[in-house]
Amino acid sequence: MEKSGEAHFPKLEKPTGKKQTATVVVGVLAVGWLAIELVFKPLFKKLSSSKDKSDSDDTTTVPPPSGA
């Protein structure tokens, strides 16, 4: 057996073709989704709070008189 200062590791197969492309695409989509969430989160909160306020304004209006 040959003794040398270097360790010999088994060669790992590099993912090629469709697997690599799919992995990259999924990673890019995940990072993109997170970026959009972080950037637009304040806007979404602002829109939802203003929508909630407008809904509560609608409920405080006088209901139409019933036919009595």
**Whether residue 49 has pLDDT greater than 80:** yes
Q: Across the chain, which distance is largest between two alpha carbons, in Å?
A: 104
- Domains of the chain, by residue range, sit at 19-51
Distance from C-alpha of 10 to C-alpha of 63, rounded to nearest angstrom: 78
Distance from C-alpha of 51 to C-alpha of 58, rounded to nearest angstrom: 11
Helix (H, G, I), strand (E, B) or coil at 66: coil
Assess contact for 55 and 63: CB atoms under 8 A.
Answer: no
Task: With cut-offs at 50, 70 and 90, classify the pLDDT of residue 51.
Answer: confident
**Whether residue 35 has pLDDT greater than 60:** yes
pTM greater than 0.95: no
Specify the pLDDT at position 38: 92
Helix (H, G, I), strand (E, B) or coil at 59: helix
